[in-house]
Every structure is written in structure tokens, then in C-alpha cells.
Amino acid sequence: MSRKQMLIVDDNQGLREALKTVFEDEYELTFAASGEEALKRTFQQVPEVVLMDYRMPGLNGVETMSYLKQLAPDSQMVIMSAWDDQESVKRYPGGGAVNFVGKPFDVRNIKQVVGQAAEKSEKIVEFKTRRQQQQAEPVISQREVDLMISDTLRVACL
């Protein structure tokens, strides 16, 4: 099974490097230093999970998340911030973060939160795949159609 794609978005280079150390064994990582760069990266590779800083120059995390949700609606978003922005994130119209992590963060906690987001992404993909397969399958088999036609012709010829 291939590793899940994760996009890490933070304007702090040191934090991006620390997060690389935390997640590089479990995820295929892509990094962006701004919201605008995150949008460009998503055009190149759609991530299953996005871990994003809330306060950045230019587009903030929640604004970026709104655009990302349009580009990659199945991607799961986790917002992180050193400020107490959790309520702002929840109230933001068009948001979509699955969780919020405060900075500084506990490594076990952030791994758990990101893991939950990855699981949710996997379930969404599985559900959509099953649904597409079900829609592609005929409601009745060709044999059943042939029998119905045969029975109809037999009755019509009586």
C-alpha cells in the first residue's frame, strides 16, 4: 500500500523541518511556506491530509483551506496555531478543518490528530470507490433482461 500524501503549510522553515522529522516515515510529504504556495502544490499533487498554520502572511490558513476545499474536496484539513484561534477556525464560513492543534504541540497528539484525518480521508475514498462500483453495476443482469423479453414474447404470441 502506498503512503498517504500530506501537505505541510507553515511560513516557519524550522517548524517545517521539525514536522518533516515527525512524519517522514509515515507520509509522502510536500511542503509550502504560504497559502499561495499550498494552492500551487495542490495543483501538482492532491494531498489526502493538509497540516496548515493558521497565521501566515498573505492568505491565512483558513482562507487557504477554503480554496483547497474547492480544489481537493476530499483532502482532510488540520489547522495549527500558536494562538488561541480554535473558535475562529470553527466559525469561519466555508471552512472544513477536521481538527485544530495548538503550538507548541505534543508529538503524540499531532500524530494522532493527523492519523485520524488520514483515516477519514481513506474512508471517504473507499466510500466513493464503492459507490462508483455500485453505480456501474447493472441493477438486473443481462440474463434477467433476456428472460423478461422471452416471457413477454411468449405471452404476446398466445
Write out pLDDT tens, residues 17-31. 999 999 999 999 999
Domain that holds residue 40: 4-156
What is the arithmetic mean of pLDDT over 137-154? Answer: 75
pLDDT in tens, 78-95: 988 876 555 555 554 445
Percent of the chain predicted with pLDDT > 90? 34
Distance (Å, rounded) from C-alpha 78 to C-alpha 74? Answer: 13
What is the arithmetic mean of pLDDT over 120-143? Answer: 74
Higher pLDDT pick, 93 / 147: 147
Q: What is the pTM of this model?
A: 0.75
How many CB atoms are located within 10 Å of the residue 30 CB?
18
* Domains of the chain: total: 1
**Phi, psi (deg, nearest 5) at residue 97:** -70, 135
pLDDT value of residue 9: 96
- Cα distance from N-terminal residue to C-terminal residue, the chain: 60
Distance (Å, rounded) from C-alpha 69 to C-alpha 97? Answer: 10
Rg (CA), the chain: 23
Backbone conformation region of residue 96, classed left if phi is above 0, alpha if psi is from -120 to 50, else beta: left
Higher pLDDT pick, 134 / 137: 134
Among all chains, which residue has been given the C-alpha cell 495542490? 42
pLDDT value of residue 93: 43
Q: Are 71 and 43 in contact (CB under 8 A)?
A: yes
pLDDT value of residue 137: 60
* CATH at residue 55: 3.40.50.2300
pLDDT in tens, 92-114: 444 555 677 877 888 999 999 99
